[in-house]
Amino acid sequence: METSTQGNGSGVLMLAAPPAPRPDRVAPITEGTARLLGAAAILGIGVIHILDAASTYHSTRWIFWAYMALIVAAVPVTLFLLHSASPLGWAVAASLAAGPLVAYLWSRSIGLPGDAPDIGNWLCTLGMAALFVETSLLTLSLTRLAMGRRSR
Mean pLDDT of all residues belonging to the chain: 86
Interhelix angle 87-109/31-57, rounded to 10 degrees, is 30
Other Cβ atoms within 10 Å of 66 Cβ, number? 18
Question: Of all residues in the chain, what percent carry a pLDDT higher than 90?
Answer: 58
**What is the residue range of 60's domain?**
30-151
Asked whether residue 88 is domain-assigned, the answer is yes
Domain count for the chain? 1
Evaluate whether residue 134 is within a structural domain: yes
Classify residue 18: in a domain, yes or no.
no
pLDDT of 148 > 60? The answer is: yes
User: Does 5 fall in a domain?
Assistant: no
Residues 88-147 pLDDT 10s: 999 999 999 999 999 999 999 998 898 888 898 888 899 999 999 999 999 999 999 998
Is residue 96 in some structural domain?
Answer: yes
The dihedral over CA atoms of 43, 58, 61, 94, expressed in degrees to the nearest 10, equals -20
Rounded Cα gap, residues 80 and 139, in angstroms: 19
Residue 117 in any domain: the answer is yes
